Structure 1
Amino acid sequence: MLLRSGKRLKRAPGGGHDDDDDGLPLADEMLILIFARLLDTDDLVRCAATCRRWRRLVSGEASFICRSNPEQFVPVGFFNQGEEYGVMDVPRFVPLASHFPSASVNALFADEPFRSSRLVTSRKGRLVLELCPRVCNPMTGNVSVLPALAGRDNPGRYACALLTADDLTNAADPPGSASSFRLVIVYDRRDFTACRTYSSDAGSWSPEGIVSGARVSGRSLAQAHAAAAAVARGAVFWRVRDAVLVLRLDSTLEAALEPLPEDWTRGGRRGYGPGVLAVSPDDGRLCVVEARIHDDYYWKHEVKVRVMFREHGGGGEDDVAVPGEKWVASRGTTLQLQAPSGCYGRMTRVSLRGVCEKSGVVFLAAVFESRPNRETPYALDLGRMEARLLRGVPDVGCRLGSCASFHGYEMDRLAYVTSLGKRRGKGMITMDVDDIYDFY
Structure 2
Amino acid sequence: MTGGRQRRKRRLREARQTTAVVTHISSLPDDIVREIFLRLPSLATLVRAACACRAWRRAVSSSLAFRCRFRALHQALLLGVFFDRERGDLPVFAPAKRRSDPDVLAALRGGDFCLTTLMEEVDDKVPLGWRPVDCRDGYLVLVNSATASRNLIDVVNPLARQRPEYIGMPTLDDDTALTADLHLLSSDEDPMSFRLVYLFHDMSRTRASRVRVAVFSSETWDWRVLPWVELEHDDGANQWLQFGTQAKGLVCWGFTEQERMLTLDTKTMKFSVRELPPCPDPEPDDAFFRRLVVAGESKDGALCIVRVAASGIYAWLWLIDDDCGGGDKWVLRNILKYTGVAAILHTTDVVAIRDGFVYLATSDTVLSLCLETWKLEKLFSMGNYCEDFYPYFMAWPCSLVGNYGRFAVLQDQDGPSNDA
Q: How does 1:200-349 map to 2 (within 5 A)?
A: 200-213=218-231, 219-220=238-239, 223-225=241-243, 228-232=244-248, 234-241=249-256, 242=258, 243-250=260-267, 253-263=269-279, 266=282, 274-291=291-308, 304-313=312-321, 318-321=326-329, 327=332, 329-335=334-340, 349=346
Equivalent position amino acid for 1:80 in 2: F
Equivalent position amino acid for 2:382 in 1: V
State the shift of 1:308 in Å: 0.5
Q: How does 1:177-216 map to 2 (within 5 A)?
A: 177-189=190-202, 190=204, 192-213=210-231
Equivalent position amino acid for 1:64 in 2: A
Q: How high is the TM-score relative to the length of structure 2?
A: 0.66
Preserved contact between residue 312 and residue 318 of structure 1 (Cα < 8 Å)? no
Distance 1:381 1:315 in 2: 30
Q: How does 1:133-144 map to 2 (within 5 A)?
A: 133-142=153-162, 143-144=164-165
Higher relative contact order (CA 8 A, sep 6+): 1
Change (3 A) 1:69 1:334: farther
Distance 1:417 1:151 in 2: 39
Equivalent position amino acid for 2:154 in 1: R
Kindly provide the CA deviation profile for residues 304-358 of structure 1, in whole angstroms up to 9, marking residues without a partner as x.
4331023434669851215xxx556312345579xxxxxxxx757551352254x
Kindly provide the CA deviation profile for residues 356-380 of structure 1, in whole angstroms up to 9, marking residues without a partner as x.
54x444322345xxxxxxx122222
Preserved contact between residue 160 and residue 229 of structure 1 (Cα < 8 Å)? no
Change (3 A) 1:120 1:206: same
Distance 1:366 1:110 in 2: 31
Distance 1:281 1:89 in 2: 36
State the shift of 1:58 in Å: 8.0
**Residue 390 of structure 2 aligns to a residue in which SS?**
strand
Change (3 A) 1:347 1:250: closer
Q: How high is the TM-score relative to the length of structure 1?
A: 0.63
Q: How does 1:155-194 map to 2 (within 5 A)?
A: 155-166=177-188, 177-189=190-202, 190=204, 192-194=210-212
How many residue pairs get aligned? The number is 340
Kindly provide the CA deviation profile for residues 57-106 of structure 1, in whole angstroms up to 9, marking residues without a partner as x.
3898355247444242733334332343xx43521222333403256222
Preserved contact between residue 211 and residue 254 of structure 1 (Cα < 8 Å)? no
Preserved contact between residue 194 and residue 218 of structure 2 (Cα < 8 Å)? yes
State the shift of 1:179 in Å: 2.4
Preserved contact between residue 303 and residue 320 of structure 2 (Cα < 8 Å)? no
Computing the radius of gyration from Cα coordinates, the structure with the larger value is: 2
Distance 2:246 2:95 in 1: 22
State the shift of 1:285 in Å: 2.5
State the shift of 1:406 in Å: 0.6
Change (3 A) 1:281 1:64: farther
Kindly provide the CA deviation profile for residues 107-144 of structure 1, in whole angstroms up to 9, marking residues without a partner as x.
34534447312210111111111231122222213434
State the shift of 1:47 in Å: 6.0
State the shift of 1:36 in Å: 2.6
Distance 1:39 1:350 in 2: 41
Equivalent position amino acid for 1:93 in 2: F
Distance 2:360 2:33 in 1: 32
Q: What is the match of residue 405 of structure 1?
A: 388
Change (3 A) 1:207 1:31: closer
**Residue 129 of structure 2 aligns to a residue in which SS?**
coil
Residue of 147, 151, 156 corresponding to 2:168? 147
State the shift of 1:34 in Å: 6.2
Distance 2:374 2:54 in 1: 31
Q: How does 1:92-111 map to 2 (within 5 A)?
A: 92-96=92-96, 97-98=98-99, 99=105, 100-101=107-108, 104-106=112-114, 107-111=116-120
State the shift of 1:289 in Å: 1.7
The runs of 5 or more residues in structure 2 that have no matched partner are 1-22, 100-104, 145-151, 402-420
Change (3 A) 1:41 1:145: farther
Change (3 A) 1:365 1:247: closer
Preserved contact between residue 133 and residue 145 of structure 1 (Cα < 8 Å)? yes
**Residue 41 of structure 2 aligns to a residue in which SS?**
helix
Equivalent position amino acid for 1:363 in 2: Y
- CA RMSD in angstroms comes to 4.1
Distance 1:94 1:217 in 2: 39
